[in-house]
Amino acid sequence: QNQKTKEQIESLLQDGKHRELRERLCCRLSFGTAGLRSAMGAGFCYINDLTVIQSTQGIYKYLERNFSDFKQRGFVVGYDTRGQVTSNCSSKKLAKLTAAVLLAKDVLVYFFSTYVPTPFVPYAVQQLGAVAGGMITASHNRKEDNGYKVYWENGAQITSPHDKEIIKCIEECVEPWNGSWNENLVDTSPLRQDPLKKICDSYMEDLTKICYHRELNVQSSLKFVHTSFHGVGHDYVQMAFRAFGFQPPIPVPEQKDPDPDFSTVKCPNPEEGESVLELSLRLAEKEGAKVVVATDPDADRLAVAEQQENGCWKVFTGNELAALFGWWMFSCWKESYSQDADVSNVYMLATTVSSKILRAIALKEGFHFEETLPGFKWIGSRVKNLLDNGKEVLFAFEESIGFMCGTSVLDKDGVSAAVVIAEMATYLQGQGLTLAQKLIDIYEMYGYHISKTSYFLCYDPATIKRIFERLRNFEGPESYPKCCGAYSILHVRDITTGYDSSQLNHKSVLPVSKSSQMITFTFQNGCVATLRTSGTEPKIKYYAEMCALPGHSDRSVLEEELQKLIEALIENFLEPAKNGLTWRSA
């Protein structure tokens, strides 16, 4: 019933573009590390009115099977500000269709009356006792994309087996039901409730549980600049700063309002660093603000930059920010609890491709550190499990600037992370320190962890498969490489196949993930490097880290060694020239 997407298929048919028609119509969307995600447009593997209706019908069928009280407890629906004129597709419209499918089946739907940060949906699921929730967003992806994240009743993104079972249910009911196309149901149905005010108030109140120095914040002379990257973050970050007692941060005027074209940045991903933070850094210099916080378009991730004494800006990596957050959350916990608080009940988590700095802090301080597969869905589920068993979780992160401070939201949250960083910077200013200086202190105390993460673009799935299969059969069938250039390999772990040479039974402790490629190499010199495919974009990512023990730290030597190893890794294992891979900087 969408004329624009119908016309796209008709014109492909008219132009005889059969190969493209096959690509669009002969495969379906599947759940990756962040739910369903694809380009907006016509076709069963694209995000459009029909595929969102089909996905919601499958979700309805699965939830009805699993919860006898599904209709009474209800479903939460949120959305960001994405949109595409050429396919008459916007996040709000797709959210209305999601709600329509459920309302037509007499399900209570909590439909936000305006755009919200992604973390508001999992938060609302738990607060309202809903059975599940959906967020229409493609986070920081390019403007052409959109997506559909699904959260379970525990407030965490769905993992296996739910995702596989939902896909089966979707395939069982692809024909839209009566009422599924009726996007006006959200305006007329008595079963639709708007949770915006209740959730916003409650979220801001819960946020103060991780505010430890309100009196300093109120008096702070430190200025902050915030960019919301043309997305949803502006209003919510302003409110969060007020909740902590701060003056609100100075917004970047050109980027504070929603713009589905993301017209001032080449890509809406704050992780890309200084090149995409240009407007905020210039504004900060003009205003005399020393710290810039940037939330991505759906406000679930956070980038931070700080002006150094020489006037240059340092944009922190996700791993560096995690070192600061880990130190901060543990220090605040220690200060706010009595002497006899049980540190052995405390946990922090990270995904396996992220820095091991939390492990080093945990070893020295006596708390627990755990790793999960990449993707916050694994962290959320594990944190819920730990909380249900009486454990206390202070912090969790993934290196791609995703942070979870406290446990009000069981997903990454850029809004809370932004205000925690502001409080940390304010506290450190009182000690005569900057964030960058404190980071060095942390590395001096717990050991330097020097890491580098980047990626290559590859649009051909066959090439990606060939690269990884070559590594699995490097020196003959089923034999992994024993060295990479001059660097000897101690252990290999392959999450795709479940192999781990460091275990006695050669079986990986982390669960197998056959749907994506991921191999980790531990080198004789202490470096750990991982190659994996992205769950949301056409990328082969690499992650490498050198970990030194406290006191064994000549940073420049470590950096040089890491750089040489990465060059060997790229040349020997990825072979970009031979495989036609596009370098990130290009």
Same domain? For 181 and 282 the reply is no
Closest CA to 280 of 222, 116, 261, 290: 290
The domain boundary residue, chosen from 446, 464, 496: 446
CA 207 and chain centroid, separation: 20
Same domain? For 432 and 553 the reply is no
Rounded Cα distance between 293 and 420, Å, is 11
Closest CA to 403 of 316, 331, 335: 316
Is 139 among the catalytic positions?
yes
Same domain? For 433 and 459 the reply is no
- Averaged pLDDT for residues 468-494: 96
Report strand pairing: 402-405 vs 487-494.
Answer: unpaired
* pLDDT higher than threshold 90 for residue 514: no
Tally helices (H) and strands (E) across the chain: 20, 25
- Averaged pLDDT for residues 420-432: 98
The 10s digit of each residue's pLDDT in 150-161 is 999 999 999 988
Same domain? For 452 and 542 the reply is yes
The 10s digit of each residue's pLDDT in 315-374 is 999 999 999 999 999 999 999 886 778 999 999 999 999 999 999 999 999 999 999 999
Contacts of 117 (CB under 8 A, 6+ apart): 232, 233, 236, 295, 298, 299, 300, 413, 414, 415
Tell me if 81 sits within 8 A of 135, measured CB to CB: no
Same domain? For 106 and 163 the reply is yes
Same domain? For 132 and 254 the reply is no
The domain boundary residue, chosen from 160, 193, 226: 193
Q: Among residues 139, 228, 451, 534, which one is catalytic?
A: 139
CATH code of the domain containing 540: 3.30.310.50
Same domain? For 465 and 551 the reply is yes
Backbone angles phi, psi at 23, to 5 degrees: -60, -35
- Which amino acid appears at position 283 of this protein? L
- Averaged pLDDT for residues 131-145: 97
pLDDT above 70 coverage of the chain, percent: 99
Closest CA to 326 of 296, 354, 294, 298: 354
- Averaged pLDDT for residues 15-33: 91
**Domain span at 456:** 448-583
Same domain? For 244 and 384 the reply is yes
478 vs 48, residue with greater confidence = 48
pLDDT at 586: 41
- Averaged pLDDT for residues 306-319: 97
How far CA 412 is from CA of 157, 376, 416, 493, 510, in Å, comes to 11, 7, 9, 26, 21
| Poorest-pLDDT segment among 11-25, 255-269, 432-446, 553-567 | 553-567
Contacts of 186 (CB under 8 A, 6+ apart): 96, 99, 100, 103, 109, 111, 192
Peptide bond into 195 cis (omega under 30): no
* pLDDT higher than threshold 80 for residue 285: yes
Task: Calculate the average pLDDT of the chain.
Answer: 95
Query: Which of the four pLDDT bands, split at 50, 70 and 90, describes residue 585?
Result: low
CATH code of the domain containing 164: 3.40.120.10
* pLDDT higher than threshold 60 for residue 279: yes
Query: Which of the four pLDDT bands, split at 50, 70 and 90, describes residue 169?
Result: very high
Same domain? For 303 and 378 the reply is yes
pLDDT at 343: 95
Same domain? For 232 and 212 the reply is yes
The 10s digit of each residue's pLDDT in 44-74 is 999 999 999 999 999 999 999 999 999 999 9
Same domain? For 344 and 367 the reply is yes
pLDDT at 167: 93
The domain boundary residue, chosen from 193, 208, 225: 193
* pLDDT higher than threshold 80 for residue 34: no
- Averaged pLDDT for residues 565-586: 91
pLDDT at 143: 97
Same domain? For 519 and 410 the reply is no
Number of domains composing the chain = 3
Structure tokens at 416: 């809370």
pLDDT at 553: 66
- Averaged pLDDT for residues 93-110: 98
Closest CA to 540 of 571, 578, 577, 583: 583
- pTM confidence score: 0.93
Tell me whether residue 16 is exposed, middle or buried, using C-beta atoms within 10 angstroms of its C-beta: 0 to 12, 13 to 18, 19 or more: exposed
Tell me if 93 sits within 8 A of 389, measured CB to CB: no
